Amino acid sequence: MNRAVAAARAAELRVLLAYHGHRYYVLDDPEISDSEYDRLFRELVEIERTYPELCVPDSPTQRVGAAPSAAFRPVVHAQPMLSLGNVFSAQELAEFDRRVRDRLGAPEVHYVAEPKLDGLAVSIRYEDGGLVRAATRGDGVTGEDVTANVRTIRSCPLRLTGDSVPRVLEVRGEVYMPRAGFAQLNARQGERGEKLFANPRNAAAGSLRQLDPAISAQRPLRLFCYGVGEIAGGPSPASQEELLEFLERLGLPVNPDRARVAGYEGCLRYYEDLARRRAELPYEIDGVVYKVDSVAAQRMLGELSRSPRWAIAHKFPAEQAITKVCAIEVQVGRTGALTPVAVLEPVGVGGVMVSHATLHNPEELARRDVRVGDFVSVRRAGDVIPEIVAVLIERRPADAVPFRFPTECPVCGSPVVREEGVIARCAGGLVCQAQRRQTVRHFASRRALDIEGLGDKLVEQLVDSGRVRTVADLYDLKPDELLRLERMGERSAAKIIEAIEKSRRTTLARFLYALGIPLVGEATANALARHFGDLEGLMSADEAALTRVPDVGPVVAHAISAFFSEAHNRAVIDALRAAGVTWPSVERPSGGLLSGKTVVLTGTLAEMTREQAQAALEGLGAKVASSVSKRTDYVIAGADPGHKVARARELGVPVLGGAELKAWLAQAGRDPAS
């Protein structure tokens, strides 16, 4: 970056940081995540380090926070409230420790390690043991008077205890909201239809900065003290550890999860241990704070304008981050299911760069209304696919439009079928590149065309090499082509060719099932074969005709019709037939005793199995349906029939038993067990 570019960027960063600092510190309503803010801040620090002349006095790097809100009376801190520098890696921590040791000329330094609570810093002033004033940090020099609100925090003593109470004590600590209290508060807010808080930090800040202390009092706020400003007329602890124990003796709350550790290795062990326990802690933390233990050493090290040299925050990688949606892509899975995926401007989440997040399915996408150009917060939990938590509506570009879900498969151009529920599926199962392996595997499976020896590995090799593009290509495979594949002997090659050969003679039902038509399983394939008897009749049936098939509703009918109207699918079917795939024509009952009647089976028949009964009824020309309606002619009920009988009685549909079915069969001269 040359100087002119750097100067322009620095000016831009100052405007951005001032804006976001105001939203965060003054309005309690941040638009960007802490990690995004940190990133901008570090970028400015970096530029100012390279070009020191660009560092102006009003740069956000030159002060602690933003200006205090005018809503509360300003309070000047007796000693400024400093902030902390950050490190994000073990290496940066090692560098911090080295700088400390170099300045002190010490071979090893002891630190007190404390959880870095995610709340709001306060300074509470006690005079002669009594709480006289509490203030927020504000800009570090001047804060806001929140005495009335802090007095409502039950863990904050109104009077100090013990026998060595100092005349003046300005204690520093963090006001926070425990996870459990946060969850209860949000549940309550939800019940009352009031605004939910994004996280415990925002809830704590919003609760503390309430103009009405009665509201603060109802909020589950807590306090942990971790340091002091002015201290006079009492003992002066010689170390951070002694200081914290002293504060405890005065009746102040101090976090018990702290530890005194030796050197950089000790710090790191503490960090790793706390990171492991993080999810179980009753409060949210965003890292660890290490403080040089010895107060004498702290004095030697001194302070920078914004932060002490004797303390540092070691931040956990963010588990949520805000980034921009660059595009929305639709991926086609191996089963033809279409999944929308947001392509993100890469962002670090929980220590990993994230550039994609799943949007699950078209319905979810429409419900969330995620648009290209939107800013979103993304979450990563463990190894799961990153997810979009929220869309930042206030940052939506004016020209962003709702995403239009494709009606054609982005891979093969076939129509997209919307299944009941939430799934969208490509109807080009026989031709779609994304589905080839799965399609061939299914075609060859045992209950389909049953091609023995055509296993997963072989299908993979044949499809990936491009040799098999559709299932029809299987029928002109030559033995020497198979022999050229990895781990293929002459015997197995010959056996596979033979199995392919054998599969040419099949049944219509198996063939239909093998095609992998969306929503058509074995039972539906059987019903279709029985109903139409031949492929031509089925392929030319419209959706209305399809719904006359037992158990085929409008959704399945639509999927079947879409499949057969796809020209590529028809071409593959033609190729299969040209390759000699055939089946005997299906005998269709005509003019049967029950022709044109709709029958529903329910309960367990003593006379025959459910399948036998269904086949027998269909043999008599009946349509067997699964639910009772006005159009049902008979219900045949066995033992434990369930609600279908009640429904039939309601509608006045005759309810018969297995004996009547047997009588019909006898009348038609049929044996039920055949």
Segment interacting with ligand IVH (CB under 6 A) among 116-124, 159-167, 187-195, 276-284:
116-124
Least distance CB 316 / ligand IVH (angstroms): 13
Are 323 and 357 in contact by the 8 Å Cβ rule? The answer is no
Considering only 185, 313, 359, 451, the residue that binds ligand IVH (CB under 6 A) is 313
Q: How far is the CB of 135 from ligand IVH (least distance, A)?
A: 13
Q: Which stretch binds ligand IVH (CB under 6 A): 30-38, 112-120, 633-641, 647-655?
A: 112-120
What are the DSSP E strand ranges found in 507-575?
none
Q: Rounded to an integer, what distance in angstroms lies between the CA atom of residue 496 and that of residue 114?
A: 68
We find the least distance from the C-beta atom of residue 341 to ligand IVH, in angstroms, to be: 36
CB of 224 to ligand IVH, least distance (A): 7
How far apart are alpha carbons 128 and 149 in whole angstroms?
21
Looking at the Cβ atoms of 286 and 566, the one nearer to ligand IVH is: 286
Looking at 114-122, 213-221, 446-454, 466-474, which segment touches ligand IVH (CB under 6 A)? 114-122
Q: Which is nearer to ligand IVH, 25 or 532 (CB)?
A: 25
Q: Report the alpha-carbon distance of residue 311 to residue 576 in Å, rounded.
A: 75
Output the smallest distance, CB 64 to ligand IVH, in A.
8
Q: Going along 151-284, which residue ranges are E strands?
A: 168-176, 222-232, 259-262
Interface region with ligand IVH, contact rule CB under 6 A, candidates 103-111, 307-315, 458-466, 549-557: 307-315
Measured CA to CA, the distance from residue 30 to residue 37 in angstroms comes to 10
CA distances from 643 to 218, 237, 503, 514, 598 (A): 52, 79, 44, 35, 18
* Interface map 27-66 toward ligand IVH (x if CB under 6 A): ----------------------------------------
In the annotation, is 502 catalytic? no
Instruction: Name the catalytic one among 116, 291, 315, 644.
Output: 116
Least distance (Å) between residue 464 CB and ligand IVH = 53
**Least distance in angstroms from the C-beta of 392 to ligand IVH:** 24
Q: Which of 177, 208, 231, 289 binds ligand IVH (CB under 6 A)?
A: 289
85-91, long-range: CB < 8 A, 24+ apart? 85/304, 85/306, 85/307, 85/312, 85/313, 86/38, 86/287, 86/312, 86/313, 86/314, 86/315, 87/312, 87/313, 87/314, 87/315, 88/314, 88/315, 88/317, 90/268
**CA 266 and chain centroid, separation:** 35
Q: From the list 117, 131, 359, 653, which residue makes contact with ligand IVH (rule: CB under 6 A)? A: 117
654 φ/ψ angles, rounded to the nearest 5 degrees: -60, 135
Chain positions 174 to 193 lying near ligand IVH, rule: CB under 6 A, are: 174
Give strand pairing partners of 159. Answer: 130
Which residue, 65 or 336, has its beta carbon nearer to ligand IVH? 65
Query: Could you tell me how many residues of this chain bind ligand IVH (CB under 6 A)?
Result: 14
How many whole angstroms separate alpha carbon 407 and alpha carbon 564? 17
Task: Pick the closer one to ligand IVH by CB: 310 or 511.
Answer: 310
Rank residues 306 and 644 by Cβ distance to ligand IVH and give the closer one. 306
60 or 658: whose CB is closer to ligand IVH? 60
Backbone phi, then psi, for 357, in 5-degree steps? -140, 140
Which residues have CB under 8 Å from 265's CB, separation 6+?
none
CB closer to ligand IVH, 82 vs 538: 82
Instruction: State the minimum distance, in angstroms, from the CB of residue 61 to ligand IVH.
Output: 14
Q: Which residue, 116 or 530, is less far from ligand IVH as judged by CB?
A: 116
311 binds ligand IVH (CB under 6 A): yes
Q: Which is nearer to ligand IVH, 118 or 566 (CB)?
A: 118
Q: Distance of alpha carbon 57 from its chain centroid, rounded?
A: 43
Nearer to ligand IVH, 41 or 403 (CB): 41
- Of the candidates 515, 12, 84, 95, the residue with the CA atom closest to the CA atom of residue 267: 95
CA separation for the pair 633, 631 (Å, rounded)? 6
Burial group, residue 560, by CB count within 10 angstroms (0-12, 13-18, 19+): buried
- Kind of pairing between the strands at 375-379 and 320-332: antiparallel
Cβ 261 to ligand IVH shortest distance, Å: 14
List 114, 170, 241, 293, residue binding ligand IVH (CB under 6 A):
114
Contacts of 135 (CB under 8 A, 6+ apart): 75, 77, 122, 123, 125, 143, 144, 145, 146, 147
Return the residue of 54, 75, 121, 292 that touches ligand IVH, per CB under 6 A: 121
Cα–Cα distance measured from residue 37 to residue 603, given in angstroms and rounded to the nearest whole number? 66
Helices 3-21 & 34-50, crossing angle to 10 degrees? 150
Own/partner pairs, 346-352, CB within 8 angstroms, 24+ separation: 347/321, 347/322, 347/323, 347/378, 348/35, 348/317, 348/318, 348/321, 349/317, 349/318, 349/319, 349/320, 349/321, 349/378, 349/379, 349/380, 349/386, 350/317, 350/318, 350/319, 350/380, 350/381, 351/317, 352/380
**339 touches ligand IVH (CB under 6 A):** no
When CB distances to ligand IVH are compared, the closest residue is 121
CB of 363 to ligand IVH, least distance (A): 42
Smaller CB distance to ligand IVH: residue 178 or 410?
178
Contact flags string 76-105 toward ligand IVH, x per CB under 6 A: ------xxx---------------------
Rounded-to-integer distance, Cα 283 and Cα 201, Å? 10
Residues 231-270 that bind ligand IVH (CB under 6 A): none
From the CB of 77, what's the least distance to ligand IVH, in Å? 12
DSSP class per residue in 246-281: HHHHTT----TT-EEEEHHHHHHHHHHHHHHHGGGS
- Which range of residues in 111-119, 293-301, 345-353, 393-401 is near ligand IVH by CB under 6 A? 111-119
CB of 137 to ligand IVH, least distance (A): 6
Select the residue interacting with ligand IVH from 116, 209, 219, 306 (CB under 6 A): 116
Pick from 79, 70, 17, 73: which is nearest to 42 by CA? 17
Among 31-39, 305-313, 346-354, 456-464, the segment contacting ligand IVH (CB under 6 A)? 305-313
User: Which of residues 307 and 445 has its CB atom nearest to ligand IVH in the complex?
Assistant: 307
308 binds ligand IVH (CB under 6 A): yes
Active site residues: 116
Residues that bind ligand IVH (CB under 6 A): 82-84, 114, 116-117, 121, 174, 226-227, 289, 308, 311, 313
